Chain A
Amino acid sequence: MTETRLGQATNFDSWKHAYAKRAENLAVSEVRALFSVVSRPEVVSLAGGMPDVSAMDNDAIRSAFDSLMSSRPQYALQYGGGQGDLRLREQICQIMELDGVHGSVEDVMITTGSQHALELISDLFLDQGDVVLVESPSYVGAVGIFRHKEAHIEHVFTDHDGLSPDALEEAVERLKADGKRIKLLYVVPNFANPSGVTLSEERRQRVLQICRDHGILIVEDNPYGLLYFEDQPPKALRAFDGDGVVYLGSFSKILSPGLRVGYVLAPPAIREKLVLANESAILSPATFAQMLVSEYLATCDWQKQVADYRNLYRTKRDAALEAVRQYLPSLHTTEPAGGFFLWLTLPEGLNSKEMLPLAVTELVAYTPGTAFFGDGRGHENIRICFSHPTAENVKVGIHRLANVIDRQIELLETFGSSK
């Protein structure tokens, strides 16, 4: 801690003059601090996008752990290669086939969650002011990385069929006419975070074509693809274009986010640079976690576990939609066919960020829509994550949220719009 010196100013940061300019974006946030309450059992958290790991077969993990430690501890406890464990990469290739993605084990790299892959890709491609096209809304973690890289984040109109190709084309032409350099399209095509919508099959082809025509690399993030409730989503974008798409996957939603194991499949030239960047940043992804995942995949019925998750999250999705219809009948909600999220649109004039303290008082937490935009929008939206609480608590939480919204409407009627 910086010492207070008599007669001199202190600001508790002796190195303020030394930070890189991009560090200016890193500051505490009151909203983030309010989320501290979600660890209290009284609070129903519809905020964090956490899987329900209580439904995980712990015996299977324990058995994989025992098997690993009795067979190959000398490898599991050692440094590994920058590209990641070979056996796990082979298994990942098999998993990606389920989404229609055919990739070589040579082009797969393991990362510390897919968030890490996104960080490496952004570092590789984005100079200050470069444009990243994203859905509207887009994943908060991606927005955070792009903002930190000082990129220009351009949200493209998105509806219940996902990103609009017409809007994408319009944005690309407009930005190019403005002399902007468009580097990436970042998209979560299946059961997107935060909207829950899925990019339709027809739109996938058009999006691919537009990006090909304009030389824009697509970053396809697919953490939820296997968590479908009805039909399997259309084939991944990467299934149709091996050179124009970097594909990100993760074990965080189908196994455990605590292990922090994700992966990236990239064209060879990009993959080469990613491996070098990965080694530069972390030497190697966590060997133990990789080998534990690999052992689990090899020795346990992981597809049954994923099927169990599908059933569990379908029940919770149904509970969430039922509660919205019952308690918030006038609100528009997306109706996801998989994944973790509903995206609610509040009555006109309400501000989801300003309403959050009231929600904390009512013992419910959600994520304000503003978190999912890089341009200040989203005040009229709320992301509801139904994956972590029990189905019953999802209903309780949405009931509480309805009371909060009623109260906020009352304030709005009293004082007029807060806009």
Chain B
Amino acid sequence: MTSVWAVLWAIFGAVVDVRRWVPRSWREWVVWFVLTALAVGVAVASDLHLWPPFGPLHLFDLAFSGLSSWLYGGRTGLKEA
């Protein structure tokens, strides 16, 4: 007797065709692995509240807030506005 889960999986597989989601060449596998590993690492860091004191947003702020404040005409941010 066919299980309900098998039927549902067959319907899902027929609609979505999961086999096409799999990389083919080694180069595709490398990129897939890097992106997925980054995603898992970032998700774990987020779950464990591992925010470094000088995080990525600070880096962006350091790099681009100067240009942004020039665009604003000398000042940036809501606090100063």
Q: Do A and B associate with each other?
A: no
